[in-house]
Amino acid sequence: MQLGLLTAPFEDTKLQDVAAWAGANGFSSLEVACWPSLGGKNRRYAGTSHINVDGLSADQGQDIIGGLAEHGVSISGLGYYPNPLHPDEAHREDVIGHLKKVITGASSMGLSIVNTFVGGDRTLNVDENWSRAREIFAPIVAHAKDSGVKLCFENCPMIFSYDEWPGGHNIAYSPMIWRRIFEEWGDAVGMNFDPSHLILQFIDQNRFIKEFGPHMAHVHAKDLMIDRDGLYERGILSAGMGWQVPRLCGLGDVVWPDFFSSLYRVGYDGPIIIEHEDRLFEGTDEKIKRGFLLARDVLQPFIK
């Protein structure tokens, strides 16, 4: 296994500087955030552009990889997490267009993983969204396959705020949908697994890993704490509003020894990428780094 981090929180830091800090502090892998460089207001934890994939050449890609290698750091995959099932057609075409560029960029760099979302229209039910996903993603999956890239979907419901409520912005969150995904596209796609999203849904982590472990090509390490007072006050029909609290590893309800035990049992031996969404460790570069180091110290004993 390789312990690393998602570069998204370092939006104002150059990739080589992120790599220098990461390599000096015991991290060996980076998932590189690749949103388009458009400026303006971005979704929380989104918008960072550490590699401009628009027209990226193989030589440019190898220069980037070589620069990171000088710090003992490799790239686990490229990350871009938009909503390809957005109800607005123009928005949908924009994000799908960029997603295809990220896939092409990964191929040019010789990378095999691009992480993203299936997406979802929060006003439609799951079955209606799935019908749209089959149609919309068919050419995207084909493009990834032709490019030698595995498209990996994260299992996040994307329901953290009321502009995402009630149905969320990503339908690839439950075993029912994941079975459909792999029945539809097989090994052409994979899962970017994040255990924190199972805590929110009260889904058995070990059972989930046992069933879908062979499809996990990339893993995020993020924790989540259930605020029991908030849950009591609002109930489960609020879908997490007011009681799900993203935390750094070790500060929430994920049982990390069980997590690693289950991953080792299914044969997973790839990257473990810390995803930082903890509000208590943000606001300054120093706090963000402190949060990553805290999570590193929790996870490091399991990385062999």
Helix (H) or strand (E) holding 196: helix 196-201
Is the whole model's pTM more than 0.75, yes or no?
Answer: yes
- pLDDT tens readout for residues 6-60: 999 999 999 999 999 999 999 999 999 999 976 556 777 788 999 999 999 999 9
d(CA 105, CA 50): 13
**Which burial class, exposed, middle or buried, applies to 165 when counting CB atoms under 10 A from its CB (0-12, 13-18, 19+)?**
middle
Residue 46 pLDDT: 86
Q: pLDDT-derived band of residue 212, with 50, 70 and 90 as boundaries? A: very high
- pLDDT tens readout for residues 171-207: 999 999 999 999 999 999 999 999 999 999 999 999 9
Cis peptide before 301 (omega within 30 of 0): no
**Which burial class, exposed, middle or buried, applies to 225 when counting CB atoms under 10 A from its CB (0-12, 13-18, 19+)?**
middle
